[in-house]
Amino acid sequence: MIFYFSGCGNSKHVAETLAQGLGDTLAFIPEAARNNRYDYTLADDERLGFVFPIYSWAPPQLVLDFVKKLKLASKPNYVYFTCTCGDNCGHTEKVFRKAVEEKGWELSSCFCVKMPETYIAMGGFKLDTEENAKRKISEADATLARLLPRLANKERFSEMIVGGFAWLKTYLINPGFNRSATDDRKYRTTEKCIGCGKCVDVCPLQNITLEEGRPKWNGHCTMCMACYHHCPVNAIQYGKATEGKGQYTYAKIKVKN
């Protein structure tokens, strides 16, 4: 069983690749949470996997909340996570290991793959060039092909890109990010909006409603940026931080190939 979260398609691609390679079932965390589905029974030899993007050098809070509520009929024999990041993950392994150990389980393996950047809601953050984005995707695919057999054999390993100042980023900056940088009140639409409702459809938290043909953000945002990146006419902005920065989704890059 693989529980996954994804805003812009990178982690979804990774989760689907793993599910296909391992013959495992996929469950989308926001959907399971929405349906209050926290009770699962795994087969005796079944792996328990998690796939998610890195948000501010840690797992997204909604993933940690889900792990906390998850109830399994018996202790899983092999637990792993795979995360996608633009650059590096800080102490994500420590954070996730602690979350798993608090359940009385053991983390067997983890690895990260670099994928195209999606976060651009602050000054200084920008998207990868198309060339870099494609290079990251093909390197990530090679890493997945190399590590899939190790997951299949239930080996124990860790291949994380921790990066510099990891303690500071994960234990000081991340809590601040979760408190204030997920504020959706800075989302706005420009006159380009055609009222198509795509942003409503792609929001994994169902946080957007259309009111008089314009999106309204309703205060339960995880800052995945799916609404921004999927808008067909680039009509969504986050304050002024996103202006002129372009859009990215895994699907769009693949369609162009």
Ligand X SMILES: Cc1cc2nc3c(=O)[nH]c(=O)nc-3n(C[C@H](O)[C@H](O)[C@H](O)COP(=O)(O)O)c2cc1C
In what side-by-side order are the strands of the sheet with 78-85? 26-28, 2-4, 47-53, 78-85, 109-114, 157-159
Of 18, 27, 7, give the one whose Cα is nearest residue 81: 18
Residues forming beta bridges with residue 211, ordered by sequence position: 214
**Size of interface with ligand SF4, in residues (CB under 6 A):** 27
Q: Is residue 242 close enough to count as binding ligand SF4 by CB under 6 A? A: no
Using CA atoms, how far apart are residues 22 and 6, in angstroms rounded to an integer? 19
Nearer to ligand X, 151 or 226 (CB): 226
Q: To the nearest whole angstrom, how small is the minimum distance from the Cβ of residue 74 to ligand SF4? A: 33
Phi, psi of 35, deg, nearest 5: -90, 5
Using CA atoms, how far apart are residues 241 and 243, in angstroms rounded to an integer? 6
Which residue in the set 119, 187, 217, 238 belongs to the binding site for ligand X (CB under 6 A)?
Answer: 119
Q: To the nearest whole angstrom, how small is the minimum distance from the Cβ of residue 125 to ligand X? A: 8
Residue 6's binding partner, choosing from ligand SF4, ligand X, none, with beta-carbon cut-off 5 to 8 A by kind? ligand X
Using CA atoms, how far apart are residues 121 and 245, in angstroms rounded to an integer? 10
Q: To the nearest whole angstrom, how small is the minimum distance from the Cβ of residue 242 to ligand SF4? A: 11
Residue 117's binding partner, choosing from ligand X, ligand SF4, none, with beta-carbon cut-off 5 to 8 A by kind? ligand X
Residue 194's binding partner, choosing from ligand SF4, ligand X, none, with beta-carbon cut-off 5 to 8 A by kind? ligand SF4
Nearer to ligand SF4, 108 or 249 (CB): 249
Q: Is residue 110 close enough to count as binding ligand X by CB under 6 A? A: no
